[in-house]
Structure 1
Amino acid sequence: MLSKKAKYALKALFVLARDFGNDATLIAEIAEQERIPKKFLEAILLDLKNHGILFSRRGKTGGYGLLKSPDQITMGQVVRIIDGPLAWVPCARQNGYQPCDECNDVETCSIRITMRKVRDATADILDSTTLADCVRLEKEPLDWII
């Protein structure tokens, strides 16, 4: 499940994607526009900055902005930064694999095999969906998504 922190991170990044190319956007503006608690948003944006997604500027014209174009940042990158691996169980992880204590045979475990499929499908979607795609969907929603 997507955490509230990851959802807020994505919502804030969509604001910054819409503003890409303009000056930095104030945290207070993002928080008000997206109804995100300001203190929580500050921590989220700092985390994204520390991972090379955002830049920050201090002062009167300060705020945050995207370091790269919105078409170069995927939802998968953001979700992994905020929530960690996409796999629901440690034995299905691409990175940081950990076998389950109760597993008899990793190679034939139907739970692991199914959860790998879920992880792979999720990764395919999130890693091929950019912030630019999401901003475009706000203007032109696809019928199959709704």
Structure 2
Amino acid sequence: MAKYEELIEELKSVNPEEAARLEEEMNIIVHKLKFLPTESFSNVILLKQQEGFEPYTSTAIAEKVKIAGGNLTDSLDANPDKIIIVQQDESLYSTLPLLLNQPAIIQSKAFANNAIYIIHNAEFDKEDALYLSDIEILAEILQPKYFFYGRDGIDWVKFEIN
């Protein structure tokens, strides 16, 4: 059972209206992506500033990336289509040039296609109550043709290389 399904079940007894809203929103996302061909799902790596820009992987984040329309990879050697950096604090922008000069990043499809994103929402992937918010952020980044929630510039930005 997916985490969001567990959350919906838990919410049904506490807040049935919120459970219904979460279920409806998740069903819309899942339904839209059901019709996309597999090659439309980008390979994506998340790098967490707080962890020294090591690949950010967990069962929960892999599930969120999958639901949002991507495939999570745990290595820059996998040549990701998109790189998402999860920001911890404002020092990110002073350390970003060093990160982006790494050969594995420079040689990636993400770098070549100017597909580097920064999630600056401080609550990203921190609590279950914000599960839908996390999915919306990722869906806008991973499948921008299909999802628009107005979070660009608020919760995340595209980092322009060129």
TM-score if structure 1 supplies the norm length? 0.28
Larger radius of gyration: 1
What is the TM-score normalised by the length of structure 2?
Answer: 0.26
- The structure that is strand-richer by fraction is 2
Higher RCO (C-alpha 8 Å, min separation 6): 1
